Chains A and B, each alone.
Chain A
Amino acid sequence: MEAQSDTKPRPDAEIRIRPLVPRDLEACGRVQYEAFTQVSRRHRFPVPFPSARSAMRVIMAYYRQPNQLYLVAELDGRPVGACVVDREGMIRGVRSIAVDPEVQGLGVGRSLVAGVLELCRDAAGVRLTQDAFNLTSLSLYASLGFEVKEPLVKFEGRLKDRPRPGREVDRLGDRDFEACRDLCRRVHGIERDLELREGLRQGSAVGVFRDGRLTGYASAVSPGGYGMAETFEDLQQIIAFAHRRSWEPFSLLVPIRQAELHRWCLDQGLRAVKPMALMTHGFYQEPRGWHFVSGRY
Chain B
Amino acid sequence: MRPKEETSSGQSSGRPAKPGRPEPIIRPLAAVDLAPAGRILFEAFKNVFERHNFAPPFSSANMAVKLLTFFFTQAHFHILAVDLNGRLAGSCVADEYNPVVGVGPVSISPEAQGFGAGRRIMEAMIERYQNRLGMRLMQDAFNLASMSLYASLGFEAKEPAVLLEGLPEGPAPAGVDVRVMEAEDLAGVNVLCMEVFGLDRSNEIMEAYERGSALVAVRDGRIAAYATVVSRAGHGAAETDQDLAAVIHAAGRESDRDLAFLAPTRRSELFRWCLKQGFRVAKPMTLMARGAYQEPAGAFFVNSRY
Point out residues on A near B: beta carbons under 8 Å: 42-45, 132-133, 135, 138-139, 142-143, 145, 147-151, 153, 256-257, 259, 262-263, 266-267, 272-275, 277
Contacts and interface: CB of A to CB of B under 8 A. Distances in A.
A259 B159 CA distance: 12
B268 A147 contact: yes
Nearest to B160: A151
7 nearest A-B pairs in the assembled complex, by CB-CB distance: A259-B156, A147-B268, A151-B160, A148-B265, A272-B144, A256-B157, A135-B281
A135 B268 contact: no
A39 to B, nearest CB: 10
A151 B141 contact: yes
A150 B286 CA distance: 11
B265 A142 contact: yes
B24 to A, nearest CB: 21
B59 to A, nearest CB: 20
B66 interface: no
Nearest to A143: B275
B232 interface: no
B291 to A, nearest CB: 12
Given A132-B160, A151-B286, A275-B144, A263 B276 contact: no
Nearest to A133: B142
Interface range on chain B (Cβ under 8 Å from partner): 20 to 34
Nearest to A255: B157
28 contacts: A42-B53, A43-B52, A43-B53, A132-B141, A135-B281, A138-B284, A142-B272, A143-B272, A143-B276, A145-B272, A147-B266, A148-B160, A148-B265, A149-B266, A151-B141, A151-B157, A151-B159, A153-B147, A256-B151, A257-B156, A259-B156, A263-B154, A266-B148, A272-B147, A273-B144, A275-B141, A275-B144, A277-B160
Given A147-B268, A148-B160, A151-B159, 7 more contacts: A43-B52, A43-B142, A148-B265, A259-B151, A272-B147, A272-B148, A277-B160
A272 B282 CA distance: 22
B263 to A, nearest CB: 11
Given A132-B141, A148-B271, A44 B266 contact: no
B201 interface: no
A150 B268 CA distance: 12
Contacts of B51: 44
Given A142-B275, A257-B158, A277-B160, A148 B268 contact: yes
Chain A contact residues: helix, strand, loop or mixed: mixed
A135 B282 contact: yes
Nearest to B156: A259
B283 interface: yes
B85 interface: no
Contacts of B144: 153, 272-275
Interface in B114-169: 141-142, 144, 147-148, 151-152, 154, 156-160, 162
Nearest to A150: B160
A44 B143 CA distance: 11
B275 A139 contact: yes
**Which among A143, A145, A259, A262 has the highest number of chain B CB atoms within 10 Å?**
A259
B49 to A, nearest CB: 11
B55 to A, nearest CB: 11
A142 B276 CA distance: 10
B249 to A, nearest CB: 18
